[in-house]
Amino acid sequence: MATSVKQMLAEANAAVPRIAPAQAKELIANGDAVVVDVRDALELGRTGKVAGALHIPRGLLEFQADPESPAHNKGLDKAKTVIVYCASGGRSALAGKTLKDMGYGQVLNGGGFQDLAQAGVPVEKV
């Protein structure tokens, strides 16, 4: 059965809670989460990224999230809370649902980079 982006986003938003930037800031500051930036490299070059965040473009997420893949990113850990963000929250919702589908337990949508940066989450240039 055909689906639409609207339906996919609704399912993703239902599966992956979106947290406020202040909550993301607290989790990050406490070292309680792995942070994943799913934007593309051009976006990172323009704005930087959350300090310490893993950069895993959405198109590579499945390969880097699978521990059995040769491309696995060892920074990802299914036992840890994962905060995923993008530019506005749409790609991060879809990426978060993918991680949940792959067995990651606690996945949160951190929303958009600018919202996190404006909330005082430390950023770094790449």
35-68 confidence digits (pLDDT tens): 999 999 999 999 999 999 999 999 999 999 999 9
Of 24 and 32, the one with more pLDDT? 24
Which token pair is 80?
A: 């840890």
SS3 call for 29: helix
Question: Would you say residue 5 lies in a domain?
Answer: no
| Overall domain count for the chain | 1
Share the mean pLDDT of the chain: 96
Question: Would you say residue 7 lies in a domain?
Answer: no
Name the pTM for this structure.
Answer: 0.95
Question: Would you say residue 45 lies in a domain?
Answer: yes
Question: Would you say residue 27 lies in a domain?
Answer: yes
Question: Would you say residue 3 lies in a domain?
Answer: no
Question: Would you say residue 8 lies in a domain?
Answer: no
Buried b / exposed e along 22-40 (16+ C-beta atoms within 10 A) = eebbebbeeeebbbbbbbe
Is 120 a residue whose pLDDT tops 80? yes
Q: In this structure, how many other beta carbons lie within 10 angstroms of the beta carbon of residue 12? A: 22
List pLDDT tens digits, range 101-115: 999 999 999 999 999
Question: Would you say residue 67 lies in a domain?
Answer: yes
Is 1 a residue whose pLDDT tops 80? no
For residue 32, the model assigns a pLDDT of 82
CATH number at residue 25: 3.40.250.10
Question: Would you say residue 75 lies in a domain?
Answer: yes
Domain membership of residue 85 as a residue range: 14-124
Is 97 a residue whose pLDDT tops 70? yes
